[in-house]
Structure 1
Amino acid sequence: MSTAHRAYIPTNAHSNQYVLVELKPSDEFYQTFKSPEACYDKLSRLFFRLAEDESLSNVHFIANDKLPVVRYHSEYYCFQTQKQMLFFYNPKYHEAQNAFIKPDYKARKIRLLFLATGSDIRANSAQFHRRVHRLIKHFKAELPDLPLELKVRDHQHLSYDLFARDKGHKETYAYKLRSLYARYEKRNCDLPQPRSELTYATVALPLSRRLKQNLKLHDHDYGAMYKRIETVFTDVCEKHGIAHRAFVANGKTPLVRNSQVDISEQNSELQKMSFDTTSDDAQQLSFYEDDNLVEAVNFIFVAGQHDCHERGYGRFMNRVHEALKDLTGDIKLRPEHDDLIVRFYQHISYIL
């Protein structure tokens, strides 16, 4: 089991950051406007004006009750499904300003989405958060004089191919992967109390034809295949001391939450799973259907409070890497040919 406090991650890793702000408008709130459309128009104009003042160049006003999901991509795309808004972008180049509104509809949540832009996203994350925080305070001051809470969620991602070295990319950078609060504190970015932090890693493993052959899939017995993968996943997690984990093979997008705030639930597209990160006890969640063949299975590794050493998660991610290498060796992935994208997530949230 790894005891090193720094994780060596390929230098071609991609970094993303976004802040999502949620307002739950009441009927009384909507009644201060002529109509929901008038509400959205006034608030979106205010939002975009304040964003210009703070030089925030990739912002979105969302009033359709769809959950934003953000990913790195070399080209900019925005797709909508029934439950989600999928944003793909490269922070180095892409800027946007959009309002997504459902006509004749009272949104349960009005969301403000801020995507970080520029270079050195992690190094500049505290400065970006400060600018967003300042905007939110000005935005809230312009809202109707009613009891209102704005929920602020700061999301940061680091994504990379676990097998980058096997494909010829030898350069790595040693990350301590400090907690968001520790990084912000060092840069004099004070966050309100109470606040909640969540750190985890995910991997989506495509079920290719070759992999299904390796797993000896016969007669459409998908349940046996999932059980085989789940067993290997459980074994490698226990071997490397990863207590909080999940296996998702039901075709839904996994969402990780803190059990002190949210409960595990699902809808047609999303699988929410909640973990008690204050407990050292093993927590494993599994979601799959014996008669449903999905395109990819997801592995989730959640850090507990005990996994933060010297205020960083480098040791935790080293254990995740070792577990994944054992797992992929067991199912005979080819590192020089197959991609295995690891996404390291850090979230912090508070009420303003």
Structure 2
Amino acid sequence: MSVSRQKKVYLPTATRKNQYITIGFPLTDEYLNAYSDLETCYDEFSKLVYQLAEKQELYNVHVVTTDKLPMVRYHSEAYCLTTDEQLRFFYNPAHHEANRLHSVAGFRARKLRIVFLATGNDLRSNSAEFHSHVKKFIAELKPLLPVKNVPIKVRDHQHISYDFFAKAKGLKETYGYKLRAVDSRYHRRHCELPENVSTLNYVTINIPVDRRIKKQLLANDTTDFTSVYQKVCDKFIEATKSKQLNRVAVVANGKIPLVRNSKYEQLTSTNEFQMVGFDPHAESPEPICHWDANKLVDVFRFVIVAGKSDETDEGYGRFMNQVEEAIRVFTNEFDIDKEHADVILRFHQHISYKA
């Protein structure tokens, strides 16, 4: 592969793009005392949010007072699913707009959170403009809050997702991505960020455990799947190491991996989320493997985190090429129906800071 091609990764033209920004701050006694009751606090806050959002051309905005973690995915229809710990938004950025308050009567949230879902076309090209609109929204919101100097945390989430076996399904056409770092893209488009910005770039891979894989992995009936998971982990670590990818995790316990920068955040797993912590500055951390030996999961979930050495001026194209090569080596070890099984790769880019 030529040097110029190594700077880009060629992904299916059907690749999906998402961006959403969350901002949040603690709901303190001092803040709540400015209102007659909890419901009035939520209602007046949401009305203010929608009014300011409209001014900034932010058209898909949700106020969350349930302390559930927002998760966003592309879908042709717009709907929202809730679990004990998650608020899952499904929508098509090109068509769907909404303003909604997500609350539970009588429940006092630990923090007030706003979720801005990007709308329109060419989300990646317009990501800096979207972030700039949110920054202007925050600047207008702050002086209107009943408590001054509220510590607002901003998290910008961007990801692209695609089926790793798209070509096997006849989707041959591709497009080249450089996958520039978020802060670099924003700077070029005159959207300046604070100095203390935390960044995290990583890939998640989901491989469904269908009948063909079960037949290959399970020699006989068993209630202890330790050997199965050990085999999967060993092969994954071997494949990633062969491509100089050293920050990896395997999750096979039914939970969703939640990747965080362990240098800045304390990590505690929950019933639904498996916290996976990496310090991007650490060159060779130990692989992380979480499994439940008492059950065979429906999906194997894998994580590959980019380090500082993977970030170049051109972007993360070379890193993603290494990821694709490693996944190709790994999946060739298994009997996967490439024409029908969807193995979804998702490249995440996160930044966070205090506004």
State the TM-score, normalizing by the size of structure 2: 0.96
What secondary structure does 2:309 align onto? Answer: helix
Equivalents in 2 of 1:194, 1:151: separation in Å? 12
Partner residue of 1:330 out of 329, 333, 355: 333
Structural mapping, 1:308-319, within 5 Å: 308-319=311-322
Equivalents in 1 of 2:238, 2:2: separation in Å? 16
Which 5+ residue runs of structure 1 have no aligned equivalent?
Answer: none
1:126-184 C-alpha deviation (Å, 9 max, x unpaired): 11111111111111221123441110001001001111112111111111100000100
1:105-126 C-alpha deviation (Å, 9 max, x unpaired): 2200111000001110100111
Q: Determine the structure 2 residue equivalent to 1:116.
A: 118
Aligned-pair CA distance for 1:2: 10
- Counterpart residue type for residue 101 of structure 1: S
Q: Determine the structure 1 residue equivalent to 2:225.
A: 222
Equivalents in 1 of 2:58, 2:218: separation in Å? 51
Equivalents in 2 of 1:283, 1:120: separation in Å? 38
Structural mapping, 1:110-189, within 5 Å: 110-189=112-191
State the TM-score, normalizing by the size of structure 1: 0.97
Partner residue of 2:244 out of 241, 245, 248: 241
1:315-334 C-alpha deviation (Å, 9 max, x unpaired): 11001101111111001223
CA RMSD of aligned residues (A): 1.5
Q: Determine the structure 2 residue equivalent to 1:300.
A: 303
Equivalents in 1 of 2:266, 2:298: separation in Å? 26
Q: Determine the structure 2 residue equivalent to 1:198.
A: 200
1:263-309 C-alpha deviation (Å, 9 max, x unpaired): 33211111111101011123311111100222111000100011012
Equivalents in 2 of 1:343, 1:324: separation in Å? 13
Equivalents in 1 of 2:35, 2:167: separation in Å? 57
What secondary structure does 1:283 align onto? Answer: coil
Partner residue of 2:349 out of 336, 346, 351: 346
What secondary structure does 1:91 align onto? Answer: coil
Relative to structure 2, which stretch is displaced further, 217-226 or 324-333?
A: 217-226
Task: Say yes or no: does 1:212 pair with 2:214.
Answer: yes
What secondary structure does 2:244 align onto? Answer: coil
Aligned-pair CA distance for 1:338: 2.1
Equivalents in 2 of 1:58, 1:145: separation in Å? 26
Relative to structure 2, which stretch is displaced further, 86-95 or 144-153?
A: 144-153
> Contact conserved, 2:163 with 2:343, CA < 8 A, in 1?
yes
> Contact conserved, 2:201 with 2:348, CA < 8 A, in 1?
yes
Q: 1:251 to 1:166 in 2, by over 3 A?
A: same
| Matched positions, count | 352
> Contact conserved, 1:2 with 1:315, CA < 8 A, in 2?
no
1:219-241 C-alpha deviation (Å, 9 max, x unpaired): 23322211111111110111111
Q: Determine the structure 1 residue equivalent to 2:256.
A: 253
